[in-house]
Structure 1
């Protein structure tokens, strides 16, 4: 039996399909390998004898992971951006995902590219200034091309990455930008991008004619909104499957800790186009 320790509560997971898709991948691969799966809200000594291993999904602190490891020697972490020297881990290459998104917008001719997003409060190394791979790559690329504009860098600290935050930050950004709008907005994930699109539509700003909008994740709903969202596909279900495979190998033969990054894929739909030429 494998224990799943989710970072999101059941209700929060319903609002965040990213984590739900990871868990579904875990359950599918576990079944293929002959493991039953139990979802744990907390762990205790009893689990050491009942479970073959633990899967920790997402952004747990270093202290929390050490606590899990004290209860069970076989731990795999799915979805953490932090280097984990003592644990097997799997994540998506969000640096590559961000490069794909920005290169797509640059190829279309955009130069005024805004970033709208948030950084969640769970920082494994609290004594460090931490930026997510998406934020770091955006800053690096825009500075490299001498296109970075601080007023187009809209980032909220200690927040969830959901539709409401996208709406809230876009409302704030429009007040700051006034009549000097970017031609494109990169959102840190699809949920935030959908919130961005809601607010732009409420202000009668046309997508993509006035502002192109780009997401990262490729949630199932992203192809059905209007206009359909251009994004970068993250293989969330495969993350879950790979996590189970790593844990299975840890259970069956002890090895050095391994860190696996999955690649991503550009998905071009209708929310991005070339910037409108000034008359």
Structure 2
């Protein structure tokens, strides 16, 4: 394909294509991205100026998070920072709050960074695939997508929930409830499915009135506790597994405020092993993984992807940590 054909396909003038190929700032970002995407898809052999335009590196990566609140994100960012400093990159942390009007959406759309780490379920798959197609490498921590410029680093959610259920079953606990997370989130979906499958594996009856949906915050745990407290205790589960520690802490602290003994009257298990889980009383049994390592691996994988090196999808190991909130 020559420059004239490329211009016709893009619906622009030959001069506009020439501006893009030569790195001139005379066209809009949207038009520039459209032309570069066509160049990639059609295999156009462009000059060195255009190659430099596409390959120039600011040594900046963007971290797109759902939120900046909570211990989980603090520990993850700590690992990201360590890796970025060691590997000589700067990073921008932004959030997906506001959807298409969010700073994360804007930064990715304008291609201000060499690549991005994504933990922001609200960002649409279509948008991320389009971003990757514009030659922006992405590391996804919150879903599975296939694209040459995308790699997935995911938690072994299934093993984590299985370990929690196995632990309870070994203690002869069979009446088990569950608090799930936001239904649209990949991790929440995997953990809920793992709960149902693990219960079925042990041939345990699932009481649907003990299966709750939360929002990954302490308030969700509090609401579940208050709901159970309004019912007859003989109708309670013997244990509740939570899809994250924040909900487990809210559940535990509300029960304690109403003089419910943990784990004597009900066992509680969380997921994530955030810092507070060690210091609440009683300390929280949970599913653990190395969040700093997750952050470090995400940065290392992203930079390797930016450098066109071989990068594989990864699964992060999870393990059960026994503390005082479960029998």
- TM-score, normalising length from structure 1? 0.83
1:267 corresponds to: 321
For each residue in 1:133-157, what CA deviation from the matched residue of structure 2 results, as whole angstroms up to 9, or x when unmatched?
111111011122221322453222x
- Kindly name which structure, 1 or 2, has the bigger radius of gyration based on alpha carbons: 2
Displacement, 1:260?
A: 0.7
The answer for the alignment partner of 1:118 in structure 2 is 181
Q: Quick one: structure 1 residues 84 and 258, their matched pair in 2 at CA, closer, same or farther if it must change by over 3 Å?
A: farther
In the alignment, structure 1 residue 6 sits paired with structure 2 residue 58: no
More helix as a share of residues = 2
How do 1:1-279 and structure 2 match up within 5 A?
A: 1-9=59-67, 13-14=68-69, 16-40=70-94, 41-42=103-104, 43-44=106-107, 48=111, 51-59=113-121, 60-78=123-141, 80=142, 82-86=143-147, 87-122=150-185, 132-156=189-213, 160-175=215-230, 178-255=233-310, 258-273=312-327
User: Which stretch of structure 1 is more off in the superposition, 67-76 or 110-119?
Assistant: 67-76
State how far apart, in whole Å, the 2-side matches of 1:112 and 1:46 are: 49
| Larger RCO: 1 or 2 (CA < 8 Å, sep 6+) | 1
Q: CA deviation at 1:180?
A: 1.5
Q: Report how many aligned residue pairs link the two structures.
A: 257
1:101 & 1:34 partners in 2: Cα distance?
39
Counterparts in 2 of 1:177 and 1:253: CA distance versus 1, 3 Å: farther
Map of 1:127 onto structure 2: none
SS in structure 2 opposite 1:91?
A: strand
Q: Distance in 2 between matches of 1:119 and 1:176?
A: 25
Residue 277 of structure 1 corresponds to none
Runs of 4+ with deviation above 6 angstroms: none
TM-score (norm 2): 0.72
SS in 1 for 2:235: coil
Q: CA deviation at 1:122?
A: 5.0
Q: Is the 8 A contact 2:107 2:113 kept in 1?
A: no
Question: What is the CA-CA distance between 1:32 and the residue it aligns to?
Answer: 0.9
